[in-house]
Amino acid sequence: MRIDRIQPWRRIVEALQAIIILGLPFLRIKGESALRFDILSLKLHFFGVSLWMEEFFIVLIATIFLTFLIVSITLIFGRIWCGWLCPQTVLVDFTAFTEKAKKNGILYSLISYSVVFVISFIVSASLIWYFVSPYEFFSRLFAGNLGSIIWGFFIVQGIIIFLNLILLRRKFCATVCPYAKLQSVMFDSKTMIIAFDPARKEECMNCMACVKTCPVGIDIRDGLNAACVSCAECIDECTEMMGRRQKKSLINYFFGLPGEAGRIIRTNAVMIGSITLLSFIFFIYLITTRMAVDMIVLPNYNFSPRITADGASVNSYYLSIKNRGNSDEQLNIRVRGIEGSLNITPDRIAIKAGEDKKIPVYVSVRDYKDNTDVRGLEISIEDDKIKVVKTVNFIWAGEYK
């Protein structure tokens, strides 16, 4: 491996990207996929945290963070994503052998297209694994009950990916990709680009190696071109050609146009970077302070407030409790907020991971010290890690003392 060339490093990064994207669905944290949206339960499993539909504001914050992350990376490093990490780039590079199909005869075409076909369906399956766990996918596949919807997605996606890889390839970037179209508005005069140094124009041998290697068929010497996917192949070619003359490549990465003083830190980059950082901190705060258990207290309309024979006033409520965590919980039910002798039945609840439970509770108050009919009553479920408190109205049903 030539460590002074960019392409071997790109291949390593691309391989790591492929391993992460294919391998992530197999990784399990607390018994669930590391990253998967479960359509049936409408839950997002995110590295050990299971977010329920009603918590999707956390996903919204994550989306805001990712959007600003993309904008700040594009503003500073230009099309680095396109050249190094984009799945389309990775797939096109890994299936580069298919570009020789036309020249190498029918047998080569047949074999190379077959390999691309298999790769397309592996990629299609890997997309499904972000919705259906790969463990479930394979067990259902081998049991013959994958289901028509999953089969449908698997086949349609596989065919689209296959056609993309044999027909569109790099044309995808210039025609279909929305990010490619948007990024020009994210660039400024200091954004990192791959460019030909016009100050050294006289040194160019006009060998055309940079043009011949360019996958999108542009001549970088003519200046910036929106079709450039920042693959850096022209840099390596020019390094090779100029190296024979013991000179440096005429094409390279530059912050801003060649010859201008490049700067990574600038006002707009700092501002967008700060928003990115703040949204990330907010997201981490929401994830780490999120309560795994939530409770809603509803009035029990089947039980009107009443006074018992021994003088206690009794109200009843329904506790609707959701355990959004990954572990079963045993929680104490407590009541506070009214002066007097307070009691709640039951005073303990067991709730399994993922369970949504609704139970009636009965609150009795003796020796009521107040003289108002309605008092705020705090009902909580708690243990040493969890505490959820809700305030409801308690209606006094007896005589005042």
Output the smallest distance, CB 235 to ligand SF4, in A.
7
Nearer to ligand SF4, 213 or 320 (CB): 213
Helix (H, G, I), strand (E, B) or coil at 179: helix
Out of 51, 86, 192, 231, which residue is the one contacting ligand SF4 (CB under 6 A)?
231
Output the smallest distance, CB 209 to ligand SF4, in A.
4
Out of 192, 194, 319, 388, which residue is the one contacting ligand SF4 (CB under 6 A)?
194
Chain position carrying tokens 């390839």: 169
Output the smallest distance, CB 329 to ligand SF4, in A.
55
Output the smallest distance, CB 194 to ligand SF4, in A.
4
Nearer to ligand SF4, 194 or 295 (CB): 194
Nearer to ligand SF4, 215 or 273 (CB): 215
Output the smallest distance, CB 264 to ligand SF4, in A.
20
Q: Enumerate residues 287-316 that contact ligand SF4 by CB under 6 A.
A: none
Helix (H, G, I), strand (E, B) or coil at 243: helix
Nearer to ligand SF4, 111 or 168 (CB): 168
Contact 203, 211 (CB under 8 A): no
Q: Enumerate residues 196-225 that contact ligand SF4 by CB under 6 A.
A: 196, 204-210, 213-216, 218, 220-221
Nearer to ligand SF4, 9 or 130 (CB): 9
Closest CA to 165 of 99, 229, 236: 99
Q: Is 234 in the site for ligand SF4 (CB under 6 A)?
A: yes
Spatial distance between the Cα atoms of 198 and 235, rounded to a whole number of angstroms: 15
DSSP track, 94-156? HTGGGGGTTTSHHHHHHHHHHHHHHHHHHHHHHHHTTTS-HHHHHHHHHHT---HHHHHHHHH
Output the smallest distance, CB 221 to ligand SF4, in A.
6
Q: Is 86 in the site for ligand SF4 (CB under 6 A)?
A: no
Q: What does the CA dihedral 285, 286, 288, 289 come to, rounded to 10 degrees?
A: 100
* Residue 155 tokens, joined: 């086949």
Output the smallest distance, CB 238 to ligand SF4, in A.
3
Nearer to ligand SF4, 252 or 313 (CB): 252
Contact 7, 81 (CB under 8 A): no
Q: Enumerate residues 119-178 that contact ligand SF4 by CB under 6 A.
A: none
Out of 32, 237, 294, 329, which residue is the one contacting ligand SF4 (CB under 6 A)?
237
Contact 377, 361 (CB under 8 A): no
Q: Please list, in sequence order, all residues whose beta carbon lies within 8 angstroms of the beta carbon of residue 4, skipping any fewer than 6 positions away.
A: 239
Spatial distance between the Cα atoms of 258 and 384, rounded to a whole number of angstroms: 61
Contact 371, 396 (CB under 8 A): no
Output the smallest distance, CB 6 to ligand SF4, in A.
9
Nearer to ligand SF4, 219 or 383 (CB): 219
Question: Residue 255: CA atoms inside 13 Å, Cβ hemisphere, count?
Answer: 12
Spatial distance between the Cα atoms of 109 and 278, rounded to a whole number of angstroms: 51
Nearer to ligand SF4, 90 or 251 (CB): 251
Nearer to ligand SF4, 222 or 384 (CB): 222
Residues that bind ligand SF4 (CB under 6 A): 194, 196, 204-210, 213-216, 218, 220-221, 228-234, 237-238, 241-242, 250-251
